[in-house]
Amino acid sequence: MVTQNQIAEIAGVSRATVERVINNRGDVSAATRKRVLDIIQEMNYRPNRAGKTLAIRQKNLKIWCIIVRSDNPFYSELNSGIQEKAEEFKSYGFEVIVESAEFCAEAQIEKIDELLEKQICALVIQPTIEPALVDKLKEVEKLKIPIVTVNTDLPDYHSPFCYVGNDFYLCGKTAANLMAMITGNACCIGIVTGFFNAKSHADRVEGFCDYIRDIPGMSVAAVAENQDDEMESYYVTKTMLNEHPEINAMFLVAGGVHGAGNAIRQIMQTQHRRIKTISFDDVPTTKALVREGIIAATICQQPVRQGKMALSVLFDYLIDGKLPDSKRLYTDIQIKIQSNIDT
């Protein structure tokens, strides 16, 4: 069985340095850290879980999760995945705490300041892309606290511990491809997104628009934000469709699908318009709209799996010192239409 003393001898460092690398604490240069981690991987070293579990229980370590405060059922499913995985953490002495915050830098920074006053060993967050929050998360990282961003990511210039979720740019291109198929490459599109300050939503819109840019018969007439709110979504969708009678296709980028769907139904019935719609997720209200034919196809991003994965990578790291296989851990998507919406 490989020991920390053996790793230290091969790496030419002290045992204390090996412990700091494994536990991600203390000041260790990037070069030394990489050398030690490479040796750990080569020798297939696994820490003593029993001893480490005892130490964790004595410290009463906490993992804090900050998810978006919203009536969007997607976030409830994400939380379900987190809570399910959190049960496994209990036997190892971890406490997983989930709190919600408005999707803005001010609210998320306030939550982070609260948790930094407590004994926290890791953070899971759905971050905005606002610079103030990015700066705050950099402060957290300086404290050697691993950060997992889930479902939405930070700007490319900032590198968190790990991101878990979909490749949203690819999701946007997938939605555009579906739109091209169901409209025969001929449509005028209205886009209703969730938050302009959510990288996941922005990437979907970018991927969608990049795909249709070279298709002469497809164009975007308007883009609006609904803040993942059903009433706001109903209002902005109805307003958009009334102001742009040329729109015959809708791309619903994020939450608020039920409200948007109600507006689309009303416009179709009262103005006798045909509108093809692509959306995201398969929450109950969206499934109903697919069955009804208001939504032609919806792209499902597996929120429960995302919640589980976010905690799994932290579990492996905090217990075994295992780094994620990649800085970006992408979950699969599923495309649902009327024929498979209930499978």
| Mean pLDDT for the stretch of residues 72-82 | 89
Q: What is the residue-wise DSSP string for 304-318?
A: HHHHHHHHHHHHHHH
Residue 55: its pLDDT value, please?
52
Largest CA distance in the chain: 78
Q: What are phi and psi of 66, to 5 degrees?
A: -115, 110
- Token readout for 177 is 């491809």
Going by the DSSP 8-state scheme, the letter that residue 273 receives in this structure is -
DSSP string, 191-253: EEES-TT-HHHHHHHHHHHHHHTT-TTEEEEEEEE-TT-HHHHHHHHHHHHHH-TT--EEEE-
239 band by pLDDT with thresholds 50, 70 and 90: very high
> Which two three-digit tokens encode residue 255?
């939450």
The sheet carrying 187-193 orders its strands as 218-225, 187-193, 249-252, 276-280, 297-300, 334-336
CA nearest neighbour of 169 among 156, 184, 160: 156
> Residues with Cβ < 8 Å from 118, sequence gap 6 or more?
62, 64
Pairing of strands 147-150, 162-165: parallel
Distance CA 278, CA 295 (A): 6
Q: What angle do CA 120, 124, 126 make, to 5 degrees?
A: 140
Q: Under 8 Å CB-to-CB from 294, ≥6 apart: which residues?
A: 261, 264, 265, 268, 277
Mean pLDDT of 224-249: 96
Q: What is the pLDDT of residues 33-64, one digit of tens each?
A: 888 888 888 888 776 655 555 455 545 678 88
pLDDT bucket at 277, cuts 50 / 70 / 90? very high
- pLDDT at position 233 is 97
Could you state, in order of their start, the residue ranges of all structural domains in the chain?
4-45, 50-165+303-331, 168-300
Pair 227, 237: CB distance under 8 Å: no
- Tens digit of pLDDT for each residue in 176-232? 999 999 999 999 999 999 999 899 999 999 999 999 998 999 999 999 999 999 999
Q: Do 4-45 and 50-165+303-331 share a fold? A: no
User: How many angstroms separate the CA atoms of 175 and 301, rounded?
Assistant: 13
The superfamily (CATH) of domain 4-45 is lambda repressor-like DNA-binding domains (1.10.260.40)
| Position 174 confidence tier, pLDDT thresholds 50, 70, 90 | very high
The model scores a pTM over 0.95? no
Percent of the chain with pLDDT over 90: 54
Q: Is the pLDDT of residue 267 over 60?
A: yes
CATH, domain 50-165+303-331, list 3.40.50.2300, 1.10.10.10, 3.30.70.1050, 3.10.20.90: 3.40.50.2300
Sign of CA dihedral 41, 155, 231, 178: negative
Q: Give strand pairing partners of 144.
A: none
Q: Does domain 168-300 have CATH number 3.40.50.2300?
A: yes
Q: Identify the pLDDT of residue 91.
A: 73
